[in-house]
Every structure is written in structure tokens, then in C-alpha cells.
Amino acid sequence: MPQDMPPTGGYAQVQYKRNIPARGFKPAYYMIGMHVIMAYGFYKYFHGVREQRELAREKMWSRLHLTPLLQAEEDRDQVRRHYADKAREKELLGTDAKVYNSDRFIRPTFAYTPANLTQ
Amino acid sequence: MAQRDARFNQTVLVDTTPMPDHIPKVEEIGATSAPLMSASYFIGDRCKAFNDDFMKCKDVANGRGEIDCLKEGRKVTRCAASVIKDINTHCLDQFKAHWECLENNNHQLWECRRAEMQLNNCVFDKLGLKKTIPGTPEGQIPVHLRPKQKYAQYPGPQW
């Protein structure tokens, strides 16, 4: 039995290449374009961040100028309650009882609740 | 210690005992957050000495600042009240426009540059108080004087 051989003159060429033209620009141009867009974005972003920083500074100083005022008001309220508490303790106990072994001002742990609705 | 105010959700119970007589009385500032924010830089300009004095007193009082610094605290409150009073006398319209703008814009200063500019000019003309932001980098226009505000709803020229 004769062996199966290629046809005489060899096989025909197999068409494996697609004959389509390359679209668009060279890849390097897309790379450059991407970087240009990114550079613009970062430029705007950094300017935005700088403005945000200044706005934060403005807000912070606005609060800093008010802090002593608000703190003074709060302190007065605390002192008023402190003296009221001391007066009530004196009335109940008869003496000036010192609860803490310290002369710091200590905010009360428990709030006094008046017997009647106050507000 | 208990740094939180006591909260009661069923009724409002407040200790209304008045301040003892040996402590001089002072009228509280009584302004809400938006007018205070609007006037803050003017308060800071006129009352810097009193503010610094009060904070210094609290700092060195070694934990007794609440009682020992009442005198400085009264000065701070009186000074701030004087600023608010002066602004109300001389620049009421601009002041009102600005703090109502702040109130409507989530207290964002950059939304109200137009009203702020008018208020600042009026206050500077009538009272001589100037808004300056400490720590602004050299060679930059301070943010409150820039005509364009990047973060405002309308970012173009504000006035």
C-alpha cells in the first residue's frame, strides 16, 4: 500500500493574515494624550486642594476667635451650677463637704434634677 | 470625668438657680451660630487682647480656670457683645444679609462672598475692624478676597 504523500507541488498557502489596515494613531500618541489629560487633571486638583486648605484655615480661625467667648459662657454656667450644688449640699449636710482631695474645678458627675419642670 | 452634659429625654430639667450675688453679672452674648460666625473675625480683631488673656488665664490656672478666670471671661463676653452691638448699629443690613446667607448655605463661608465683601467694607469704614486670616501664605490673595470661589455653587466672579 503506497504511503499518503503531499500533493505534487506542495500544499496551497493557508490564508492566516487578516488584511485590515491599522486604525488610529500610533500607540505612543495615545500614551502621550493620556498623560496630557492627567497632567491637566492634577493641575486643577492641586489648585483645588490649595483653595480648600485656605478655606479650612479661614473656618478654623473663625472658630478660634469665638472659642474664648463660648468657653467663657460655658464656664459661667458651670460655676453657677457648682455654687448651686454647694449651697444645696450645705443645706442638706450642714457643712461644706469636700468630695475630692483636690482644689481643681471638677464638673459634676450627676446633674441636679429640679422637682418641678423648669422649662 | 463627666464631660458630657446630662441629657434627659422625657422632660427638660434645668437647674435655674441664679449666680450667687458675689459674682458680678454679665449679659450673655445671646447670638446664634450664624451671626457669631459672620462677626467672628471682627470679634477676633477687636477682642484679641481679652481673648488671649482669658485663654492664658485658663492655661495657667491649673485646673481651676472655671472659677478663677470669671473676671477675664466677663471681659471677653462684654467685648464680643460690644462688637455685635456696633455692627448692629452701623451695618445691620449687610450683617443680616451675610448671616442669613450663611444660615441658608450650611455655614459655608465661600457661598457668601458677595454679602461678606459688603459687610467687610462697611465694618471697615464704620468701625475700623478688618478681617485678616492669620497664617495665609505670602504672595497669595487671601481666600476671602478672591473674586472666584472654586467651591461655590456659582464659581465665577462673586461681585
| Chain segment B47-88, per-residue pLDDT in tens | 999 999 999 999 999 999 999 999 999 999 999 999 999 999
For chain B, residues with pLDDT lower than 70 are 1-2, 5-13
- Out of A52, A73, A84, whose CB is closest to B28? A73
In this prediction, residue B10 carries a pLDDT of 60
Residues β-bridged to residue B157: B148
B119 versus A118: the higher-pLDDT residue is: B119
Q: Is the pLDDT of residue A104 over 60?
A: yes
A55 with B67: Cβ contact below 8 A: no
Residue B12 lies in a domain: no
B37 with A75: Cβ contact below 8 A: no
- Residue A2: pLDDT band (50, 70, 90) is confident
Pairwise CA distance, residues B3 & A74, whole Å: 12
Residue B63 lies in a domain: yes
Question: Is A111 touching B (CB cutoff 8 A)?
Answer: yes
Pairwise CA distance, residues B108 & B92, whole Å: 21
Residue B44 lies in a domain: yes
- Residue A56: pLDDT band (50, 70, 90) is very high
Give B129-133's long-range contacts (Cβ < 8 A, gap of 24+).
Answer: B129/B41, B129/B42, B129/B45, B129/B46, B129/B83, B130/B45, B131/B41, B131/B42, B131/B45, B132/B41, B132/B45, B133/A54, B133/A57, B133/A58, B133/A61, B133/B41
Question: Is A65 touching B (CB cutoff 8 A)?
Answer: yes
- Residue pair B40/A63 in contact by the 8 Å Cβ criterion: yes
Average pLDDT estimate for A80-93: 90
- Residue pair A76/B26 in contact by the 8 Å Cβ criterion: yes
Pairwise CA distance, residues B115 & B159, whole Å: 9
B56 versus A9: the higher-pLDDT residue is: B56
Residue B1 lies in a domain: no
- Residue A3: pLDDT band (50, 70, 90) is confident
A114 with B8: Cβ contact below 8 A: no
CB atoms within 10 A of CB B84: 19
Q: Is the pLDDT of residue A117 over 70?
A: no
Suggest the residue from B51, B120, B130, B136 to mutate for an interface test with chain A (most A CBs closer than 10 A): B51
Q: Is the pLDDT of residue A119 over 70?
A: no
Suggest the residue from B10, B12, B67, B119 to mutate for an interface test with chain A (most A CBs closer than 10 A): B67
A51 with B19: Cβ contact below 8 A: no
Residue B28 lies in a domain: no
B41 with A113: Cβ contact below 8 A: no
Which one, of B13, B9, B12, B3, lies nearest residue A112 by Cα? B13
Residue B9 lies in a domain: no
Which one, of B52, B116, B109, B105, lies nearest residue A56 by Cα? B109
Number of structural domains chain B divides into: 1
Q: Is the pLDDT of residue A100 over 90?
A: no
Cα nearest neighbour of A112 on chain B? B15
Question: Is A99 touching B (CB cutoff 8 A)?
Answer: no
Residue B90 lies in a domain: yes
Average pLDDT estimate for A25-32: 95
Distance from CA of A66 to the nearest CA of B (A): 6
Average pLDDT estimate for A82-93: 90
Residue B71 lies in a domain: yes
Boundaries of domain holding B89: 33-131
- Residue A94: pLDDT band (50, 70, 90) is confident
